[in-house]
Amino acid sequence: MQDPGKAALERRSFAHALFLLLLGPLVWALYFSFAYGLHSLACAAGGAGWRNMVSALLLIGAAVSLAALGASAVVIARRRSKTAERAFESYASAVLLLLSAVAILWTGAAPLFLTTCEMMR
Protein backbone atom coordinates (compact mmCIF):
# COMPACT_ATOMS: atom_id res chain seq x y z
CA MET A 1 0.00 0.00 0.00
CA GLN A 2 1.29 3.42 -0.95
CA ASP A 3 1.78 6.22 1.56
CA PRO A 4 -1.04 8.82 1.16
CA GLY A 5 1.43 11.69 1.58
CA LYS A 6 3.62 10.35 -1.21
CA ALA A 7 0.61 9.85 -3.50
CA ALA A 8 -0.52 13.43 -2.91
CA LEU A 9 3.00 14.68 -3.65
CA GLU A 10 3.11 12.71 -6.91
CA ARG A 11 -0.29 14.11 -7.97
CA ARG A 12 0.89 17.63 -7.19
CA SER A 13 4.14 17.03 -9.04
CA PHE A 14 2.23 15.72 -12.09
CA ALA A 15 -0.15 18.68 -12.03
CA HIS A 16 2.77 21.10 -11.75
CA ALA A 17 4.64 19.42 -14.62
CA LEU A 18 1.50 19.45 -16.78
CA PHE A 19 0.92 23.12 -16.00
CA LEU A 20 4.49 24.02 -16.98
CA LEU A 21 4.19 21.93 -20.13
CA LEU A 22 1.00 23.67 -21.24
CA LEU A 23 1.87 27.17 -20.03
CA GLY A 24 3.43 28.34 -23.31
CA PRO A 25 0.51 27.27 -25.52
CA LEU A 26 -1.95 28.71 -22.99
CA VAL A 27 -0.22 32.11 -23.01
CA TRP A 28 -0.21 32.06 -26.81
CA ALA A 29 -3.91 31.08 -26.93
CA LEU A 30 -4.79 33.95 -24.59
CA TYR A 31 -2.80 36.44 -26.66
CA PHE A 32 -4.27 35.08 -29.91
CA SER A 33 -7.82 35.45 -28.54
CA PHE A 34 -7.03 38.94 -27.26
CA ALA A 35 -5.54 40.01 -30.61
CA TYR A 36 -8.38 38.79 -32.81
CA GLY A 37 -11.05 39.92 -30.36
CA LEU A 38 -9.53 43.39 -30.32
CA HIS A 39 -9.35 43.44 -34.12
CA SER A 40 -13.02 42.47 -34.35
CA LEU A 41 -14.06 45.17 -31.91
CA ALA A 42 -11.99 47.80 -33.72
CA CYS A 43 -13.46 46.91 -37.11
CA ALA A 44 -16.99 46.90 -35.72
CA ALA A 45 -16.38 50.29 -34.08
CA GLY A 46 -15.10 52.02 -37.17
CA GLY A 47 -11.76 50.61 -38.24
CA ALA A 48 -9.19 53.19 -39.26
CA GLY A 49 -9.73 55.59 -36.38
CA TRP A 50 -8.75 52.84 -33.95
CA ARG A 51 -5.56 51.80 -35.75
CA ASN A 52 -3.03 53.45 -33.43
CA MET A 53 -4.74 52.34 -30.24
CA VAL A 54 -5.20 48.76 -31.49
CA SER A 55 -1.59 48.57 -32.63
CA ALA A 56 -0.34 49.87 -29.29
CA LEU A 57 -2.53 47.47 -27.31
CA LEU A 58 -1.42 44.53 -29.44
CA LEU A 59 2.24 45.38 -29.02
CA ILE A 60 1.80 45.82 -25.26
CA GLY A 61 -0.06 42.50 -25.14
CA ALA A 62 2.74 40.81 -27.07
CA ALA A 63 5.34 42.26 -24.70
CA VAL A 64 3.41 41.08 -21.64
CA SER A 65 2.95 37.63 -23.17
CA LEU A 66 6.63 37.33 -24.01
CA ALA A 67 7.55 38.47 -20.49
CA ALA A 68 5.28 35.75 -19.08
CA LEU A 69 7.01 33.19 -21.30
CA GLY A 70 10.40 34.48 -20.14
CA ALA A 71 9.40 34.11 -16.49
CA SER A 72 8.17 30.60 -17.26
CA ALA A 73 11.50 29.77 -18.87
CA VAL A 74 13.29 30.85 -15.68
CA VAL A 75 11.02 28.60 -13.59
CA ILE A 76 11.63 25.68 -15.96
CA ALA A 77 15.39 26.25 -15.93
CA ARG A 78 15.43 26.19 -12.13
CA ARG A 79 13.29 23.04 -12.07
CA ARG A 80 15.75 20.95 -14.08
CA SER A 81 16.67 17.70 -12.47
CA LYS A 82 19.05 14.86 -13.09
CA THR A 83 16.30 12.30 -13.58
CA ALA A 84 15.47 11.44 -17.17
CA GLU A 85 11.76 12.08 -16.65
CA ARG A 86 12.28 15.59 -15.26
CA ALA A 87 14.85 16.38 -17.93
CA PHE A 88 12.36 15.41 -20.65
CA GLU A 89 9.61 17.49 -19.03
CA SER A 90 11.91 20.50 -18.87
CA TYR A 91 13.04 20.05 -22.47
CA ALA A 92 9.48 19.61 -23.78
CA SER A 93 8.30 22.65 -21.80
CA ALA A 94 11.18 24.75 -23.13
CA VAL A 95 10.44 23.73 -26.74
CA LEU A 96 6.75 24.61 -26.32
CA LEU A 97 7.71 27.96 -24.78
CA LEU A 98 9.95 28.70 -27.74
CA LEU A 99 7.27 27.74 -30.27
CA SER A 100 4.74 29.86 -28.38
CA ALA A 101 7.12 32.83 -28.42
CA VAL A 102 7.50 32.50 -32.20
CA ALA A 103 3.70 32.31 -32.57
CA ILE A 104 3.23 35.43 -30.42
CA LEU A 105 5.81 37.32 -32.46
CA TRP A 106 4.14 36.20 -35.69
CA THR A 107 0.68 37.24 -34.48
CA GLY A 108 2.02 40.46 -32.98
CA ALA A 109 3.75 41.49 -36.20
CA ALA A 110 0.48 41.92 -38.08
CA PRO A 111 -0.33 45.42 -36.77
CA LEU A 112 3.06 46.65 -37.92
CA PHE A 113 2.27 45.87 -41.57
CA LEU A 114 -1.51 45.89 -41.98
CA THR A 115 -4.29 48.30 -41.12
CA THR A 116 -6.76 47.18 -38.50
CA CYS A 117 -9.58 45.94 -40.67
CA GLU A 118 -7.34 44.52 -43.40
CA MET A 119 -6.12 41.99 -40.86
CA MET A 120 -9.64 40.58 -40.64
CA ARG A 121 -10.06 39.88 -44.35
Tell how many helices (H) and how many strands (E) occur in the chain. 3, 0
DSSP 47: G
Q: How far from chain centre, in Å, is Cα 110?
A: 17
pLDDT in tens, 47-66: 566 777 887 888 899 999 99
Choose between 79 and 54: higher pLDDT: 54
In the chain, where are the structural domains located? 22-120
Q: For residues 65 and 32, what is the distance between their CA atoms, to the nearest angstrom?
A: 10
The pLDDT, as a whole number, for residue 86 is: 74
Of 29, 34, 38, the closest CA to residue 116 belongs to: 38
pLDDT in tens, 12-51: 677 888 888 899 999 999 999 998 888 888 777 775 667 7
Of 95, 112, 117, the closest CA to residue 23 belongs to: 95
DSSP 3: -
CB-based contacts of 32, cutoff 8 Å, min separation 6: 103, 107
Quote the percentage of the chain above a pLDDT of 70: 77
* pLDDT above 80 (res 114): no
